[in-house]
Amino acid sequence: MSAADEILDVVDEHDQVVAQLPRGRVYAENLRHRCVFVRARDAEGRLFVHRRTTVKLVFPSLYDMFVGGVVGAGETYDDAALREAEEELGVSGLPRPEFLFKFLYDGGARGSWWSAVYEVRCDLPVNPQVEEIAWHAFLTEQEVEARLGDWEWVPDGLAAYERLRALRAAD
């Protein structure tokens, strides 16, 4: 089965399931669906940052500070967060990612999606999927901040990062 054939839950503005359709159709028609964003830190607290491959359906070749992806039909956000983190990092046996918050991302012409944001500590050596990730490194928070204006970041990940930064500043 290709990625375009994967079945996703289509949801409304309240995150209630209204249909189940193939990913290709969901993307083509800009239908609201669910995604997870997992911020992975290594044992030293550095963030996993990567550049997406040129063949990605959404935001090819852009940088991201989260691993993650779409939530499959009938899958929980929590289960998708663990599955996506292990798949993209190329590891197994991660602890369950910690849920931080959820928001409705508005991608304009690309549509909108409910986005659940998580964090996980990854003490394992990573072996990222070459189909998904063209380059990767663990960077300090300061190194990420220094690159925010220099690198082209995925807009939904940047929106999640800005919300996370605002939440932490409010605490």
Average pLDDT of 82-94?
96
CB neighbours of residue 32 within 10 Å = 19
Q: What percent of the chain has pLDDT over 90?
A: 85
pLDDT at residue 41, rounded to an integer: 97
Contact status, residue 31 vs residue 69, Cβ threshold 8 Å: no
> Which residues lie closer than 8 Å to 163 by C-beta, 6 or more apart?
101, 103, 117
**Average pLDDT in the 69-85 region?**
97
CA dihedral 57, 153, 8, 29 (to 10 degrees): -60
Using CB atoms within 10 Å of the CB of residue 65, give its burial: 0 to 12 exposed, 13 to 18 middle, 19+ buried: buried
Of the pLDDT bands very low, low, confident and very high (cuts 50, 70, 90), residue 111 is confident
Sign, CA dihedral 21-102-15-58, equals negative
Mean pLDDT, range 43-50, rounded to an integer: 97
169 or 144, which is more confident: 144
pLDDT tops 80 at residue 47? yes
